Every structure is written in C-alpha cells, then in structure tokens.
C-alpha cells in the first residue's frame, strides 16, 4: 500500500486533499441538507474524474475502468444520499 | 449444496480464478447492483414509513428535548454576545403550540401553511400583540443541545437567536406523526410585545427563520395583529407542503409549564389578557417522554445500512489489495487504494452525520 502510494504520490495527495476538503465542507454546511447533497454530488464527480485522470496518466484507461469508477462513485453517492433524507 | 454455497461465497468475496482474481462483489456490475439494492432499501423504508399509520409504528425519532433547556441554552448563546436573556411568554407558547399542531394536522413542514397561514397569524390568534416577531422550527433532534447547535450553525436561525430586538419567546415541543414518521417538532416563536405590560417572565429560546414588524398602531383589544400590517425583515423559508396526507395522530403534545420552570425566575403574569390559558393547561404532559412503540429511527437504520455496505467494501478492497500484492497479480482495474480512501470518507461522513432538520 505504501509502495502504491509513493509510486503515485501526487495523484493520491490530490485525492486525499479533495476528500478532506469535502469532509470539511460537510461539517461547515451542516445543518443545511441541500448543501450537503450538493457536496455529495461534488464528491462523486470528483472521485470519478480523479480515477479517470489517474488512469489516463498511467495509460491504463479502458472502458471497463471508466465504468468501475462510475459505479464506485455512484455507490458512494447513494450510501451518503440515503442518510441525508 | 454446502459445496455450492461455499463456492458462491468464495466467488463473491475472495480473489480467485473463477472471478478473474478479483472478488465478484468488486466487479463493476456487482457494484451497480449494490447501488440499486441500496436505493431499493431506502425506497422500501420510505414506503414502510408511509404505510404504517397505525399504532404498530416502529420507526420514529425519540427525543428528550425540553423547553426549559432550550430557553436556557438560547440565553447562554445570547449571553456570549452580550445580549439580554429572553423571557418566556405563555401567549407566545400557545401560538407556537397552535403552529405545531397545525403542522401535524395539515402535514407540512414550513413556516407558511399550505393554506397560506403565516406564523404571525398564529400569534395574532393567540392574542399576542407584537412590534417584531419571528419563528424557528426544528424536527428529528434527539437532544436540545444538538438542536440549538444546529440553529446556531445556520446563519438565518442564528441571526434570530442573536437579534437584540427580541425580548420574549414562546416554545412548543410537540410529538406527532409527520411524513409518516413519529417525531418531535419544536416551534419557537419570539418577539417584542407592543405593550410592555404583557408578559410572563421566564428566559426564552432560540431561533426564527423570519421576522415580521408591525407598523400600525396597536389595537386596544387582546386579539392580535392584522396580517397586512406585517413587514417581513427576513423572509421566511418558502413553504413546502408535504405530499402525504395522513396526519391523524398528535399522540402527545409537550409544552413546558413555563410558570413552573425551574431556574428561570418567577413568572409574573400582568395586565394583558392571556387568551387561551386553559388550552395550555390541557396539553401539559411530562417532557421527554418517549413513546414505547418507536423502536428504530429511520436515520439510524439508513446509517447502519450505509455503514455496513461501506465496511464491506473496505474489507473486500483491503483484502483484495493484500492478496494481489502478495501474489503479484497483474490486473487492469481501478485503484483499490483510491476506492479505499473514498469508502473511508463515506464511512466517516455516515458515522458523524448529524440528524435533525431546522427551518
């Protein structure tokens, strides 16, 4: 895991920074449910874009990988969204 | 049979040749199915909430909110900004109670009723004559401190709490069924009386999402303010009437006996006629009582479900990452470490998600 992180330090740093910013945003906008749902959409879009771009950089991008990032982002968004209703 | 079950579980959860060296549950199509299952679970919960209107209801929000504590915490917040404490007014509390009952009866969650009735109308009907007035609403909170914290985190509600023009407040803490779920509504109305002789003194509570100012001269009668004379200073949140009807049950109405609240000093009822004191007396019941039929909170159920799925994903991804490293498996798939970080974020947000809504 450490090796994987060090191999793609920039990519993972961006990911961790983005996720931390969204967590912080979640705390800041509470108790505004609408803003929280916007943040969930931003989280899903951010992760999808991150995954695609990270694989473009390593030249390992396939449609299957794109689909994987899409559904992983969707699942994360669904799991968070159901809590906010 | 047992062998088939064993094979299926291994196929779903463990990287092996049969699943192309990645647990089947981590395949994109399985993740899509999992997303659909999560949505179906949530949909079923919603349908269940709306279908169970009888006494066998098991979903709801238990609460131990007390009006006295709300008043106390509100005044603590005001004191931090150097503002004078609010005093509780039994007439305002009667108006707040009427508003809460109206929300349960007509099944809406808004400052303005579906029939256009404004908070000021409830104040007027209760006989409260004011110079400025406001209202804050909250629901689904389990504790007073969490509810007041939510109000303080919301700029508009905070503005009401910290409004130095208010001198009095009324509170209603009401249990009932809203959107198919047993819950506790808290209605807070506050204002400044037109006549300084009209008050019952007890410190007050937070929040309003709107403020109205009366510009006409006061009427000598006990009944309140004509609505056309109200000028909104802060516009209330737009009304959002609920789709589902059945209100039927206000199981219990909880209102602190402001006249006997501990720690808030003596209550002095002076000249202004208090229009409906008997109504108040009829609805006094112990605060914080939890209806026994409520077993699960919808929020806790959805949180448990989301957390379980997130933890399952984390476990599978971590194990898959470990095995592929160990076996030096080469695959063209998404980055497990990225997925792990994402689901850790999801788990964190779900665990620390705070319930309750303010309006």
Nearest to B105 by CA among B114, B94, B118: B114
List chain A domain ranges.
Answer: 2-83
Q: Pick the range with the lowest mean pLDDT from A26-40, B59-73, B226-240.
A: B226-240
pLDDT 10s digits, B71-111: 889 999 999 999 999 999 999 999 999 999 999 999 898 99
Contact A78 B38 (CB under 8 A): yes
Percent of chain A scoring above 70 in pLDDT: 100
Q: Using a CB–CB cutoff of 8 Å, tell me whether A24 touches chain B.
A: no
Residues on chain A touching B317 (C-beta within 8 angstroms): none
Residue of A nearest to B323 (CA): A1
ipTM score assigned to the predicted complex: 0.96
- Residue-level pLDDT at B295: 60
Instruction: Please give the mean pLDDT across all residues of chain A.
Output: 92
Give residue-wise pLDDT tens across range B261-290.
333 322 222 233 333 332 232 333 333 444
User: If you measure CA to CA, which chain A residue comes closest to B337?
Assistant: A1
Residue-by-residue DSSP string for B119-187: HHHHHHHHT--EEEEEEEEEES-SSHHHHHHHHHHSHHHHHHHT-TT--EEEEEEEEEEETTEEEEEEE
Which DSSP helix (H) or strand (E) runs through B355?
none
**CB contact, 8 Å: A64 with chain B?**
yes
Contact B318, B21 (CB under 8 A): no
Query: Would you call B40 an interface residue with chain A, using a CB distance cutoff of 8 Å?
Result: no
Q: Are the beta carbons of B341 and A75 separated by less than 8 Å?
A: no
How many CA within 13 A on the CB side of residue B79? Answer: 10
Angle between helices A9-29 and B336-351 (to 10 degrees): 10
CA distance A76 to chain B (A): 6
């Amino acid at each position: 895991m450490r090796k994987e992180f060090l191999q793609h330090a920039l990519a993972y740093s961006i990911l961790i920074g983005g996720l931390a910013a969204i967590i912080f945003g979640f705390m800041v906008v509470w108790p505004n449910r609408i803003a929280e749902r916007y943040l969930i959409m931003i989280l899903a879009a951010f992760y999808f874009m991150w995954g695609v771009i990270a694989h473009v950089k390593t030249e390992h991008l396939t449609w299957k990988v794109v689909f994987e990032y899409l559904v992983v982002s969707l699942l994360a968004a669904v799991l968070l969204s159901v809590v906010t209703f | 049979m047992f062998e088939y079950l064993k094979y299926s579980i291994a196929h779903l959860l463990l990287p092996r040749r049969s699943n192309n060296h990645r647990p089947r549950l981590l395949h994109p199509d399985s993740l899509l199915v999992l997303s659909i299952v999560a949505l179906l679970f949530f949909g079923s919960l919603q349908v269940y909430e709306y279908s169970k209107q009888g006494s066998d209801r098991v979903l709801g929000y238990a609460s131990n909110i007390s009006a006295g504590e709300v008043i106390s915490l509100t005044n603590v917040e005001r004191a931090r900004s150097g503002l004078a404490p609010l005093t509780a007014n039994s007439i305002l509390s009667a108006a707040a109670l009427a508003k809460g009952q109206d929300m349960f009866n007509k099944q809406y969650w808004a400052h303005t009723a579906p029939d256009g009735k404004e908070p000021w109308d409830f104040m007027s009907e209760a006989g409260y004559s004011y110079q400025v007035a406001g209202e804050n609403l909250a629901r689904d909170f389990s504790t007073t401190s969490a509810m007041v914290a939510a109000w303080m985190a919301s700029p508009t509600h905070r503005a009401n709490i910290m409004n130095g023009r208010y001198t009095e407040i009324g509170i209603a803490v009401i249990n009932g069924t809203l959107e198919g779920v047993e819950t506790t509504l808290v209605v807070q109305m506050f204002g400044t009386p037109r006549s300084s002789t009209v008050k019952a003194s007890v410190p007050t509570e937070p929040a309003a999402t709107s403020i109205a100012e009366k510009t006409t001269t006061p009427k000598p009668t006990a009944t309140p303010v004509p609505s056309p004379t109200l000028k909104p200073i802060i516009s209330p949140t737009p009304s959002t009437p609920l789709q589902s009807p059945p209100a039927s049950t206000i199981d219990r109405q909880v209102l602190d006996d402001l006249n006997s609240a501990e720690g808030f000093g003596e209550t002095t009822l002076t000249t202004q006629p208090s229009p409906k004191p008997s109504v108040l007396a009829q609805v006094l019941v112990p605060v914080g009582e939890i209806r026994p039929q409520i077993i699960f909170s919808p929020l806790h159920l959805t949180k448990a479900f989301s957390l379980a799925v997130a933890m399952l994903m984390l476990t599978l991804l971590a194990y898959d990452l470990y095995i592929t490293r160990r076996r030096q498996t080469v695959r063209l798939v998404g980055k497990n470490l990225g997925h792990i970080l994402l689901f850790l974020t999801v788990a964190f947000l779900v665990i620390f998600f705070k319930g309750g809504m303010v309006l």
